[in-house]
Structure 1
């Protein structure tokens, strides 16, 4: 199950979107999605707000991954003129938190977590509609799979760049094991340090 829906307790599958390189952002930017910038400050605020709503840690990596997906879905929605009503957004938002009314209400008490959940819900509805479904198909895996493939195809023309400190955007989430050259050099330095710290035969 995806990072987003595992964290929010939903059972629908998250879209798998194409990734971009781990370069191309400027200081203060966590990612750029088709020309739309996601700031580090926005990521931090989202992480804190969603953690409070969920009652457990929702890391910056999770937050950025979902923020990127939300922007991608919004751009695809606009390009394809896909209507999503307020009622559909509310239904998808409740589904995204596993139908837990108490958790849903916690998200509503803070503007950041509320906007984030609504964006998540909208992206799910866009996926469902691309799969030929309606709000009644939020749990329909066949519709979601079809929508996922359509979203992946639609996203191919949208560039995604992620700041090296977070990793790289791969298959719809942040892969923190892939980073920029500084991190790779750091790994090499670590390997050299570990090699020099190995005890000589007969020591220890």
Structure 2
């Protein structure tokens, strides 16, 4: 099994055309999706817990990318009033780990991995339902493709911003090749920098 869960194949393939990095992040936030904040602590905990459950490395970039996707699909679920039952989540969760009961139980034994897997599963169900499918169509590529297109349209107004240390969220995915020094400065940071510069100038002795 790869370091990415099977069900993430559909979710990670979404090209979302979100709003880029317009909003900026708060101190301690790894990303902000709409009004949902994902903390650096959330990313670290998820990376460590999922690595333990999978028995292989699941790095912070992968964790952040999937947490952002989960948050986006959670917002789409709410906006579109899509119903996902506990039974559907459970079925999709087992599919996400390749129907490997031992791995599934490892995820269930820890609250961090259990909640994460449930979010991944819910995101997969939302995607396939937007494509006109049902829980039985999780492996139906046609339904998933229709769902991806529907998610792209439904999420076009959801703003995503990522802390510079992690890169930038571009065209529906995390670009870790972008240096923090090249990231777009947020409005809040620009305002603080300007205020500090103005204060320093006023403090200088007048000639």
| TM-score band w.r.t. shorter chain | 0.7 to 0.9
Distance of 1:175 and 1:22 partners within structure 2: 16
The RMSD of aligned alpha carbons is: 1.9
1:18 corresponding residue in structure 2: 17
Residue among 5, 14, 33 paired with 1:8: 5
Runs (4+) of structure 1 exceeding 4 A deviation are none
TM-score, length of structure 1 as denominator length: 0.83
Separation in structure 2 between the aligned mates of residue 142 and residue 60 of structure 1, nearest angstrom: 31
**What are the ranges of 5 or more consecutive residues in structure 1 without an aligned counterpart?**
185-204
Which moves more between the two structures, 40-49 or 167-176? 167-176
| Mapping 1:81-92, distance limit 5 Å | 81-92=81-92
Q: What's the TM-score once normalised by structure 2's chain length?
A: 0.81
Q: 1:126 to 1:7 in 2, by over 3 A?
A: same
Unaligned runs of 5+ in 2: 185-207
Give the Å deviation of 1:22: 7.7
Determine the structure 1 residue equivalent to 2:135. Answer: 135
The residue aligned with 1:53 is: 53
Task: Name the residue aligned to 2:101.
Answer: 101
Larger deviation, residues 73-82 vs 166-175: 166-175
Shift of 1:182: 5.3
- Per the alignment, in what secondary structure is the counterpart of residue 133 of structure 1? coil
CA apart distance, 1:9: 3.6
Per the TM alignment, residue 106 of structure 1 is displaced from its structure 2 partner at its CA by: 0.6
Matched, 1:36 2:36: yes
Q: What is the match of residue 162 of structure 2? A: 162
Deviation at 1:11, TM superposition (A): 7.8
Count of aligned pairs between the two proteins: 180
Paired with 1:151 and 1:117, the residues of 2 have a C-alpha distance of 20
